[in-house]
Amino acid sequence: MYTTSNTPKTARTIGKRGYRKKSYLFFSQKCGLEFWAESLIELYAAYAAELNFFIMSYLCQPMIFELKTGRRFKNRDEAKAALLGLIPISEMEFYTPDLLIKRVGKQIIQECKPAKKVQEFSDKAKLIEKACLANGFEFQIITDEDVFEEPYQTNVKTLISLLPHLPYWNRQEAEKKFKMAIELFGDVASIAEISNSLQISPFEILIAAVKGLVGLDCRHQLLTPTSQVLLRKNGIIGLI
């Protein structure tokens, strides 16, 4: 398995794969860790978590559930050892979530599936949801329809490309500039209006949305100079 010192231990090994079934390595600025995603849907769900100001942190392949008992474990080996004598190993039913999302006051287990496979997954999803609720988690299914719809997908690509600039962003300076923007424009102004009037670069405005200082709707509008910035709203609207 290909890992680095920033790759966290996961419940199931993914690592680098061949061309038939690809995996995707990416670095989370929010978590300070590298993650492997085992599908593009999972990768874009992780991108959404990365960009969502209200999500504190997240993990890929975070744990194992044994669905007949509803218990959770770090990995299969721990589960088999704990359940030895209670359930034959051949009858154990394991489930590894794709993502664990941590927000203030709640934690969400996310399963990433193509929309065409959700119906056939429904019976297992009920068992998973029951196990999640018993362990204090909410359960959510994310599909390609959630993450690949346009203009959402293009906007996410644009916003993700800004992540290397986040460590250099100065919140105090940005707050001063956007306070002036509110005085000039009120609740709403375009990216171009703010940029031209206050000498704020467009990418600084997008970073401010990722950091929760202003609002941007990336679900319904393609991010261009004419896109509307919600000066009194926090974060990016439309992210899962």
SS (H, E, C) the chain: CCCCCCCCCCCCCCCCCCCCCCCEEEEECCCCEEEEECCHHHHHHHHHHHHCCCEEEEEECCCEEECCCCEEECCHHHHHHHHCCCCCHHHCCEECCCEEEEECCEEEEEEEECHHHCCCCHHHHHHHHHHHHHCCCEEEEEEHHHHCCCCHHHHHHHHHCCHHHHHHCCHHHHHHHHHHHHHHHCCEEEHHHHHHHHCCCHHHHHHHHHCCCCEEECCCCCCCCCCEEECCCCEEECCC
pLDDT at site 1: 36
pLDDT at site 167: 85
User: What pTM was computed for the model?
Assistant: 0.89
Integer Cα distance of 48 and 155 in angstroms:
11
pLDDT at site 31: 94
Integer Cα distance of 193 and 102 in angstroms:
35
pLDDT at site 166: 87
For the chain, which residues make up each domain, given as ranges? 24-147, 152-237
pLDDT at site 19: 54
Report the DSSP beta bridge partners of residue 106.
103
pLDDT at site 3: 44
Q: Mean pLDDT for each 10-residue chunk of the chain (240 residues)?
A: 49 54 88 93 96 96 96 95 92 96 97 97 97 98 96 96 89 95 97 94 95 95 96 93
Integer Cα distance of 132 and 96 in angstroms:
11
Q: Domain 24-147 belongs to what architecture?
A: 3-Layer(aba) Sandwich (3.40)
pLDDT at site 165: 87
Q: Give which of 230, 157, 169, 235 is closest to 204, Cα–Cα.
A: 169
Q: Give which of 156, 208, 154 is closest to 26, Cα–Cα.
A: 156
pLDDT at site 2: 39
**Dihedral over Cα of 179, 190, 146, 61: its sign:** negative
